[in-house]
Structure 1
Amino acid sequence: MPRRAAHEPGTRGPEATRRRILEAAIEVFAEKGYHETAVDDIVRASDTSKGAVYFHFPNKQGIFAVLVNELTKMLAQRVERSIAREQGAVAKMDAALSTVMDIFTRHRKLSRILFVEVLGAGRSCDRKLIDIHARFAQIIRRHLDEAVADGSIPPIDTEMAAYAWFGAINEIVTRWLYAEKPQPLTTVTPELRALLLRSVGVSPEYQSHINQSPEAIDDGF
């Protein structure tokens, strides 16, 4: 979510307080982990009060669930914007991959929440995790279907391919998050890109004509 000065004039209403709590929660959950985080930690980090936190959220799990929802929504919006600038189904898929890897590289704490802390955060979060996977797999599948329709790739099981793509991205990002001295995810993007595009039948010659560098944009995080 957008990072704004929490104490600027005009930012002291309920919505500003809610935003400050969620921004603090990102820092605390990413640093301490979901299970080791207490509501009091978020209260201190957000410079609010326990009453303010419970006014906006029922409990720690409620804060985490809202945070996951909002982060997922913003990431999906950013991916869709990057896709909208491209022409052709394959170029759109490529833009989505580049954008996701770029955002995760620049926002490691957000990545940790979506890929690590959400695991084991409770049954409701397990359900949300399935929904997150399905949401992004559906974005991938939609453009795979378009690529099949326009002849850019041969007929394939686009649902299976979409989940395979998401699974590969998930594994790469998770391994990166656990690395002691991680390199930027963007360093592996070209190889991952080539592997994924080749897996659905995009030729190396076609790949070479696609712009691999997403425009520098304000992603809103």
Structure 2
Amino acid sequence: MTDSHSFFLEGYIIDNTKRERILQSAISVFSEQGLEKTKVADIVKQAGIAQGTFYLYFHSKYALIPSIAEKLLDDILNIMDERVAAEQPFDKKIDAIVDATFDITAEYKDVLALCYSGLSLSGALQEWEKIYEPYYRWMDHLLEDAVEKQEIRPGIRIRITSKMLIGVMEESAEQVYLFDEQYNDSTEYREELKLFIVQGLK
């Protein structure tokens, strides 16, 4: 009998805590050495597991990247749930979402850069839509609620708008933390983005 941290895969009992250790180790080693220079042996050494155990979960180091991206998105959604309250008016929700997006990007910038380069190198960019589906649904619900409360204009295309909002928020945060090394203060970016979103949806 297995506990909540385990499941069966091809006749083996797979422990999710080991999978988590592999992911955490990979994030650390990739960030330090880069994707190309990292070997599976480096990851398992830091994780404290046998190399054969690694291959029960992932067939290569590149196969880790979608799982790292998915883990990162889970963390993002947890933070959004903590910061965005149902009773807040729409503009305050946008304030919280924008600030959370910038804060998360600042904290995870090395991992985000890793995910982008890794998915591109592994040819798995199509995985993004699947990985982002829970975030799209989360944003869909927020927009639907705002339309119902007449806080934003009716008739918007919910899913398209969700994708656009997430895209512009992430792109703005990445501009500050990944690409514009001379720009140390994100305040102006945040404030302009909040106005842009709220005014565009009124």
TM-score range, shorter chain: 0.7 to 0.9
The CA deviation at 1:118 is 4.5
The CA deviation at 1:129 is 0.8
The answer to whether the Cα contact below 8 Å between 2:105 and 2:174 also exists between their aligned partners in 1 is no
Equivalent-residue separation in structure 1 for 2:144 and 2:196 (angstroms): 19
Residue of structure 2 equivalent to 1:141: 140
Equivalent-residue separation in structure 2 for 1:194 and 1:133 (angstroms): 25
| Residues 1-221 of structure 1 mapped to structure 2, 5 A cutoff | 16-84=17-85, 86-114=87-115, 116-123=116-123, 125-155=124-154, 156-175=156-175, 176-181=177-182, 183=184, 185=186, 188-201=189-202
The CA deviation at 1:128 is 2.0
Letter in 2 for 1:135: P
Aligned-pair identity in percent equals 23
Equivalent-residue separation in structure 1 for 2:139 and 2:17 (angstroms): 34
- Which secondary structure does the structure 2 equivalent of 1:92 belong to? helix
- Which secondary structure does the structure 2 equivalent of 1:60 belong to? coil
CA shift digits 1:97-121 (9 cap, x unpaired) = 222221222232233244x234414
The CA deviation at 1:173 is 3.2
Would the alpha carbon gap of residues 194 and 118 (structure 1) be closer, same or farther in structure 2, given more than 3 Å must change? Answer: farther
Letter in 2 for 1:144: L
The CA deviation at 1:73 is 1.6
Equivalent-residue separation in structure 2 for 1:193 and 1:153 (angstroms): 14
- Which secondary structure does the structure 2 equivalent of 1:154 belong to? coil
- Which secondary structure does the structure 2 equivalent of 1:132 belong to? helix
The more displaced of 189-198 and 24-33 is 24-33
Equivalent-residue separation in structure 2 for 1:58 and 1:95 (angstroms): 39
The answer to whether the Cα contact below 8 Å between 1:30 and 1:112 also exists between their aligned partners in 2 is no
Equivalent-residue separation in structure 1 for 2:44 and 2:89 (angstroms): 47
Letter in 2 for 1:63: L
Would the alpha carbon gap of residues 173 and 44 (structure 1) be closer, same or farther in structure 2, given more than 3 Å must change? Answer: farther
The answer to whether the Cα contact below 8 Å between 1:112 and 1:177 also exists between their aligned partners in 2 is yes
The answer to whether the Cα contact below 8 Å between 2:22 and 2:54 also exists between their aligned partners in 1 is yes
Would the alpha carbon gap of residues 170 and 35 (structure 1) be closer, same or farther in structure 2, given more than 3 Å must change? Answer: farther
Would the alpha carbon gap of residues 193 and 132 (structure 1) be closer, same or farther in structure 2, given more than 3 Å must change? Answer: farther
Where does structure 1 differ by over 4 angstroms across 4 or more consecutive aligned residues?
A: 14-17, 184-187
The CA deviation at 1:21 is 2.4
- Give the total of aligned pairs: 186
- Which secondary structure does the structure 2 equivalent of 1:167 belong to? helix
